[in-house]
Amino acid sequence: MNASLTPGQTKVDSVKLLIDGQWVESKTTEWRDVVNPATQQVLARVPFATAEEVDAAIAAGQRAFKTWRDTPIGARMRIMLKLQALIREHSKRIAVTLSAEQGKTIADAEGDIFRGLEVVEHACSIGTLQMGEFAENVAGGVDTYTLRQPIGVCAGITPFNFPAMIPLWMFPMAIVCGNTFVLKPSEQDPLSTMMLVELALEAGVPAGVLNVVHGGKQVVDALCTHTDIKAISFVGSTEVGTHVYNLAGQHGKRVQSMMGAKNHAVVLPDANRTQTLNALVGAGFGAAGQRCMATSVAVLVGKAREWLPELKALAAKLKVNAGSEPGTDVGPLISKRAKERVLGLIESGIKEGATLELDGRDVQVPGYEQGNFVGPTLFSGVTTDMQIYTQEIFGPVLVVLEVDTLDEAIALVNRNPFGNGTGLFTQSGAAARKFQSEIDVGQVGINIPIPVPVPFFSFTGSRGSKLGDLGPYGKQVVQFYTQTKTVTARWFDDDSVNDGVNTTISLR
């Protein structure tokens, strides 16, 4: 596979476009380096596709749709079955590339792939997922039924933090529903995404059904405004997600836009202490905090305040190193720019009066001195007007707030503009039921730190974390990628009684 890396690789390859089943060398003059964030080694060059190349990819999807939409549902399903088998076969090799380009530990990279694989497995159930409804004899001799039909060429724009999982949230469900797809991976780490695309072709996805273009804002805007694109799926920052939602919406597209987050973990003093502290540290600092569902705020309620020293001690034990190194807990941030941003927010927390309990700014990683490393960083004494609370840091920084009651904690979480995920740690069923009922957040975990639902449910999100009504997988995404056609039918025998002319709107 041309996107994979080999040990000791020195040659820098260019990442290809995929247009109408062909790997295409872009004619662009604008390129970006794909850089290993632990070493600054240039792994590949990614093109920013030209307007003509984007148009060609969409045109290929439009041509392919004419036949793909009529492909039997069993044939589409069998391609997904083959794809999931291929992903399983190649997951460890893909994980090595994913770790090199994104910085995750190998284990976390494998988890990234597996959570996407679960969606591919769910796509294999399309035979039941895409079923319509039928009601017999809704009026005299009249039946009504629905068809769930594909909508056309769809597009997906994916972020850097999950280069396997989120593309697999998008294109498998879109194409198994009978649509064609144009994927724009993150320009920061497209190599593992391209390996998955190659597996999709190997699984039997026909030419033009799946196309790939690379680039930045110009390519995004071209997808959002093109006449032949019917739906846009986006995961990424709030700023870009809002732009995509507004621009695509203005041009008549269906849009699902999953955006920023500030995820709270509310800790009651009756919670299992060991399990809760382990969960906070793992969810707060895993993947260097670069998860949209990362726990970035711990709300300690009542006597749970006393747990802060143990939380600090546990976080301090985490090993910071390159993701490829055994035993690593926290890898590098994706880029030097990301590191500078995180360091700036840490500095703002100090200036605004928060207590820096654990400082990860000067972490040293022997052998990887050029890496974009920030160690686990912990703040206490945080208030809701500080930048480290109001902004999504997207780094290994956990901030601690303290309240006296569960009611105060619920009010605090609900005042935050984001609504991606939250968790409650308790052994009280009554407290858990109250929390899940009153909290205004899309994904709720009870003693679960990162409550991302399995694919037969739908990833939801709410408020400032989501624009659009339908989530990116589960039953909701079948609705997103299909249109419902309702058929009302009556059939007559040759000797049927003539009812005469009916000038009302009723059926009889």
Could you give the residue numbers annotated as active site? 292
CA distance 287 to 338: 14
Spatial contact of 275 and 309, defined as CB atoms under 8 Å apart: no
Spatial contact of 456 and 449, defined as CB atoms under 8 Å apart: no
Closest CA to 378 of 322, 427, 330: 330
- 330, exposed or middle or buried, with CB in 10 Å at 0-12, 13-18, 19+? buried
Sort strands 42-47 and 355-358 into parallel, antiparallel or unpaired: unpaired
CA distance 189 to 199: 18
Spatial contact of 23 and 210, defined as CB atoms under 8 Å apart: no
CA distance 197 to 8: 24
CA distance 404 to 289: 27
254's tokens: 């269906």
Question: What are the DSSP E strand ranges found in 158-249?
Answer: 180-184, 210-212, 229-235
3-state secondary structure of 378: strand
**Beta pairing partners, 32:** 46
* DSSP line for 419-430: ESEEEEE-S-HH
162's tokens: 């999950």
Q: What's the per-residue H, E or C state across 223-240? A: HHHCCCEEEEEEECCHHH
Closest CA to 422 of 304, 256, 261, 278: 261
CA distance 40 to 19: 30
3-state secondary structure of 265: strand
Q: How far is CA 428 from the centre of its chain?
A: 32
